[in-house]
Chains A and B, each alone.
Chain A
Amino acid sequence: KAGVTQTPRYLIKTRGQQVTLSCSPISGHRSVSWYQQTPGQGLQFLFEYFSETQRNKGNFPGRFSGRQFSNSRSEMNVSTLELGDSALYLCASSKGSFKHSTGELFFGEGSRLTVL
């Protein structure tokens, strides 16, 4: 079965610009969550969407936003880009139940953003 697909894989932006990243989850998965990975910080949770509603949010400024569509595809947007936003942005999907099953998230390969 097809995995989690993220586009674009690589992009370069300049400070002050905005960027939109896209994520297509595994078929049947209703939860999509986003993580930022930077050197020395590991993966940090941005937010999670389930059935088009934001269900959880991490400690990131309001410049980071997201949405989910009725087909479970998700986008995240970063406005007014800063140098520190350079990172690998990972999308993960799951069936999204509140009870732990395996707690398994299926990650995409990520979108690597470089801000100059």
Chain B
Amino acid sequence: DQQVKQNSPSLSVQEGRISILNCDYTNSMFDYFLWYKKYPAEGPTFLISISSIKDKNEDGRFTVFLNKSAKHLSLHIVPSQPGDSAVYFCAASDTGTASKLTFGTGTRLQVTL
């Protein structure tokens, strides 16, 4: 049972345009959501997070939106850069330790010139 779903395995976006990566979850107990980025042969690196008490969090070019009623979150990257090409994982956790994360299967973003 996949509690965190990323239904788009891949996404291609032109440099300078907006990249929108989507994530859906089913467990209503999740109260904290994160995005990680992974390059080949490297471990995932933390990108941005959002608590369930918020609906938006920004960090530079990256913005995460949370729609609790729809159990949906999205990551917006504006403007997209070639260095953003990587696999992006959505993750969620419920109240308690932040170390037990439930991850989605990832979306491979390719930013083209």
Residues on A lying within 8 angstroms of B by beta carbon are 4, 31, 33, 35, 40-45, 48, 50, 55-56, 58, 90, 92, 94, 96-98, 100-110
Contacts and interface: CB of A to CB of B under 8 A. Distances in A.
Interface residues of B, number: 27
A55 B97 contact: yes
A68 B65 CA distance: 37
Given A55-B97, A94-B98, A101-B98, A44 B103 contact: yes
Given A42-B103, A42-B105, A109-B41, A98 B49 contact: no
Q: Which 8 A-B pairs have the closest CB atoms?
A: A107-B43, A103-B98, A42-B105, A43-B103, A104-B46, A33-B99, A42-B103, A56-B100
B32 interface: yes
Contacts of A43: 44, 89, 91, 101, 103
B99 A107 contact: no
A36 to B, nearest CB: 11
A103 B49 contact: yes
